[in-house]
Amino acid sequence: MRDSWATSRAAPPSDEDGPRGVPGVDLHLEPHGSGLRAGLMDALREAVRTGRLAPGTRLPSSRSLAVDLGVARNTVADAYAELVAEGWLTARQGSGTRVARRAEPRRPAPVPPRTRPARRGPAHSLLPGSPDLAAFPRARWLTAARRALTAAPHEAFAYTDPLGRIELRTVLADYLARSRGVYAAPERIVVCAGFIHGLMLLGRLLKARRVRAVAVESYGLDLHRNVLTEAGLRTPALAMDARGARTGELGDLPDARGVGAVLLTAAHQFPAGVALQPDRRAAAVDWARATDGLILEDDYDGEFRYDRQPVGALQGLDPERVVYLGTASKSLAPGLRLGWLVLPEELVGEVSAAKGGVDWASSSLDQLTLAEFIASGAYDRHVRSMRLRYRRRRDQLVAALADRAPGCRVTGIAAGLHAVVELPPGTERSVVEAAVWQGLAVYGMDRFRHPSVPPGPDALVVGYATPSDSAWPGALDALCRVLP
């Protein structure tokens, strides 16, 4: 299509009062899109943008351009009028239609639409933090979407309640009580766009309450610490050991009076993999009660426990002191951007306000789809089936390492989507580098270390849920090859 339309000559540019002696320019009109007028407008805009039609250039009269192009005069006149309204051209009595002085030329051509160059990814990934995306239950999710979309009231398409859809909150309250021992009522639940969004809302709330710091476990995700830092909060490190975070030391942190909350991965510490032991749970609650503090419980993979029933959430111990943060990112997929907060009653209003009045973050249709997905039992079935799949992989991991890397102990394997492979002292960095050469993406423990604590024992954090079933054996083999 390009260059296929007639070209036409623009009259020479002129100064304010009359024609100047600049030679005429070809308009080279290149219509695209449908419709004569729209195509003409596009072509003129582009000619101005690229500088082919300079500011001040006088355009041919609509009559003569129409003749050149073989179109109705009105088509050209309308296009000119539109472009005058948009500010591209000016029309003045006696001076004709000209390119507006302000439409300054830009760089030669628009950036052509293109996809970004495909990055050569690693051949194998055992990075933690992702479920097996190939196992996303597409058909059943679509069934739920169809049911939800069919049943939704019209108001489901409107701006929605900042707490989230009541249908989802009702179903979640039941599910969380049943599967995680969470003391949940729909009125305490706020739907959010995944964990990060929930943590942003809480960071804002804590800052508004004049909290100065949130204690974090000495190993964790820098992304989470950054969210709190960006909310204006410090993130002092709480030491950990084999029984979990040393919550009894919350009162001994530097500037302890400014610490208004603690972020804990109680069911399955990320990344160390230990469960917070009963005395540590009790100490956390005691601290919160004594200091009017809050516990933020990041229950990211609480559904996945392999050798016995899941350990229930800490939240049930004191629902007025613990904020429970749950997510569909590990149980279904991060791409859904669906998470939930279960809040102390007195915080519901503040969190809702922190959302900005309307629920601007989460699609109502997605919320209704998830509600239908849980209510139909598809969620439980999916979690059960993934639990079996991940347990099998975990067992294969343990067996393979016992066989091929007997010097490396595996820990943190009772639950979750990752395990910790302990390494001989001083070898972590070289093992991670060796993995790169094997095309295997895997993180060392040190990557998750809080910057204020000294390096700990060498280890790898192995996300065994990440590969697809077909990619898993190759990834496991690559791992065994790089272990000492």
Q: Which stretch binds a copy of itself (CB under 8 A): 4-12, 75-83, 243-251, 422-430?
A: 75-83
Q: Which is nearer to a copy of itself, 261 or 361 (CB)?
A: 361
CB of 68 to a copy of itself, least distance (A): 22
Tell the smallest beta-carbon distance from residue 59 to a copy of itself (Å).
15
Which of residues 177 and 398 has its CB atom nearest to a copy of itself in the complex?
177
350: contact with a copy of itself by CB under 8 A: no
Q: Minimum distance from CB of 278 to a copy of itself (Å)?
A: 5
* Contact pick of 70, 108, 114, 210 for a copy of itself (by CB under 8 A): 114
Q: Which of 58, 98, 124, 188 binds a copy of itself (CB under 8 A)?
A: 188
User: Can you tell me which of 14, 170, 291, 411 binds a copy of itself, judged by CB under 8 A?
Assistant: 170
Does 187 participate in binding a copy of itself (rule CB under 8 A)? yes
Q: 226 vs 255, which CB is nearer to a copy of itself?
A: 226
Counting contacts by CB under 8 A, is residue 50 touching a copy of itself? no
Q: Is 120 in the site for a copy of itself (CB under 8 A)?
A: no
Using CB under 8 A as the binding rule, whether residue 357 contacts a copy of itself is answered as yes
**Binding piece for a copy of itself, criterion CB under 8 A, among 12-20, 107-115, 253-261, 402-410:** 107-115
Three-state SS sequence of the chain: CCCCCCCCEECCCECCCCECCCCCEECCCCCCCCCHHHHHHHHHHHHHHCCCCCCCCECCCHHHHHHHHCCCHHHHHHHHHHHHHHCCEEEECCCEEEECCCCCCCCCCCCCCCCCCCCCCCCEECCCCCCCHHHCCHHHHHHHHHHHHHHCCHHHHCCCCCCCCHHHHHHHHHHHHHHHCCCCCHHHEEEECCHHHHHHHHHHHHHHCCCCEEEEECECCHHHHHHHHHCCCECCEECEECCEECHHHHHHCCCHHHEEEEEECCCCCCCCCCCCCHHHHHHHHHHHHHHCCEEEEECCCCCCECCCCCCCCHHHHCCCCEEEEEECCCCCCHHHCCEEEECCHHHHHHHHHHCCCCCCCCCHHHHHHHHHHHHCCHHHHHHHHHHHHHHHHHHHHHHHHHHHCCCCCEECCCECCCEEEECCCCCHHHHHHHHHHCCEECEEHHHHECCCCCCCCCEEEECCCCCCCCCHHHHHHHHHHHCC
Window 407-466: residues binding a copy of itself (CB under 8 A)? none
Q: At what angle do helices 195-208 and 222-230 cross, to 10 degrees?
A: 40
Interface with a copy of itself includes 375 (CB under 8 A)? Answer: no
469: contact with a copy of itself by CB under 8 A: no
Could you tell me the smallest distance in angstroms from the CB atom of residue 131 to a copy of itself?
A: 8
Please identify which residue in 6, 22, 36, 38 interacts with a copy of itself, judged by CB under 8 A: 38
Using an 8 Å Cβ cutoff, are 426 and 432 in contact? no
Round to whole Å and give the CA distance between 5 and 277: 76
Distance in Å, CB of 365 to a copy of itself, minimum: 6
Interface positions, 131-150, toward a copy of itself (CB under 8 A): 133-134, 136, 138, 141-142, 145-146, 149-150
In this complex, which beta carbon is closest to a copy of itself, that of residue 139 or of residue 426? Answer: 139
| Smallest gap from residue 240 Cβ to a copy of itself (A) | 18
Does residue number 84 form part of the binding site for a copy of itself (CB under 8 A)? yes
Interacting residue with a copy of itself among 116, 119, 120, 210 (CB under 8 A): 116
Q: How far is the CB of 290 from a copy of itself (least distance, A)?
A: 11
333 binds a copy of itself (CB under 8 A): yes
Segment lying near a copy of itself (by CB under 8 A), choices 18-26, 272-280, 387-395, 438-446: 272-280
Q: Which of 30, 249, 320, 422 binds a copy of itself (CB under 8 A)?
A: 320
Neighbouring residues of 311: CB distance < 8 A, sequence distance ≥ 6: 266, 267, 275, 302, 305, 415
Interacting residue with a copy of itself among 4, 93, 309, 470 (CB under 8 A)? 309
Residue ranges in 206-225 that form contacts with a copy of itself under rule CB under 8 A: 223
